[in-house]
Amino acid sequence: MPTATATLSVSFAPSKKPHLSFCPFGATSITLTNFTSPPIRRPMTTSAVSIEKETVISERPHTFLRQTDGEDNGSIRSRFQSMILEMQESVCGALEALDGAGKFKEDAWTTPGGGGGISRVLQDGAVFEKAGVNISVVYGVMPPEAYRAAKASAADQKPGPVPFFAAGISSVLHPKNPFAPTLHFNYRYFETDAPKDTPGAPRQWWFGGGTDLTPAYIFEEDVKHFHSVQKRACDKFDPSFYPRFKKWCDDYFFIKHRGKRRGLGGIFFDDLNDYDQEMLLSFATECADSVVPAYIPILEKRKDTPFNESQKAWQQLRSGRYVEFNLVLD
């Protein structure tokens, strides 16, 4: 079966700021029940966005940043790219060590004007049915009406298209054992380019992301462990973060027609730019670093639990909620 790759999707509504999420490209090569992308809220009308076509490459480059951005100039762009590359390495390494048999297959891609990504998929391992950990760096142009909706000041609005930069990491992890929970996480950064005639910071920027747990069978000690790790990460920066972002996660992943949440939650935030930029970069990094200690201890306890066909069928039904949630938002 062809190896699946992924890219970063950016959708725009005239009255809303851009919404970032990862979605598979070459989607016919993957099964939705085993590997799905984070949801994309599609408005009734969208504005066109210009992103260059991807080209698959045989070896990953040192950086996906444009030369004008500098490879390691201390910018938020550069440091966020470094963070997601390091996170992909650490998460994939931890998952391979736990699985013991499966190995991640990697695809890399670039675009002519800068940007690109790395898709990693582990399939049919000893522990994981399918696990994907993908990163993307994207340059594009957004329509002016989308930029005007993105909290831009009146003095900084221009009639023409607005260049933007987006980067992120996204993952869905599906274990084989029905007593081992599915995990989803993604962390992302978005900014618009500063006007060419104005030096300094970007005109707009924000962070988003989160980590959430979806078990087929609930173990209270697992839920407590998972949420305690999320809370510790949040509390290092602001005691209001955990209750605020936990509720946001509960509300976001709510399947309205069922009156139920998709899983047992975690944390979720989006369009976050009302704090110091350096603080939020550190916060996103801390959240990313908490994925392995939040998830791996649970898998170590549950991966070898005996199960029967009925329990496996229930897991597959629960996994379908990922697809159902995405289709409801389409």
Active centre residues (catalytic): 184
| E strand spans, the chain | 5-13, 16-25, 50-51, 55-57, 105-110, 116-123, 128-142, 162-175, 182-192, 205-214, 254-255, 260-261, 266-272
- Do 164 and 191 meet the contact criterion of CB atoms below 8 Å apart? yes
- Do 184 and 200 meet the contact criterion of CB atoms below 8 Å apart? no
How many C-beta neighbours within 10 Å does residue 141 have? 16
Instruction: Give me the phi and psi of 324, to 5 degrees please.
Output: -60, -45
How many C-beta neighbours within 10 Å does residue 14 have? 14
And the tokens for 307? 């199960």
42's CB contacts (< 8 A; 6+ apart) are: 11, 329, 330
Angle formed at CA 176 by CA 172 and CA 180, multiple of 5 degrees: 75
In single-letter form, the type of residue at position 97 comes to A
β-pair type (128-142, 162-175)? antiparallel
Query: Residue holding tokens 């070896």?
Result: 59
26's torsion region: left (phi>0), alpha (psi -120 to 50) or beta?
Answer: left
Alpha-carbon separation of residue 4 from 121, 182, 254 (angstroms): 7, 19, 28
- Bridge-partner residues for 110, per DSSP? 55, 116
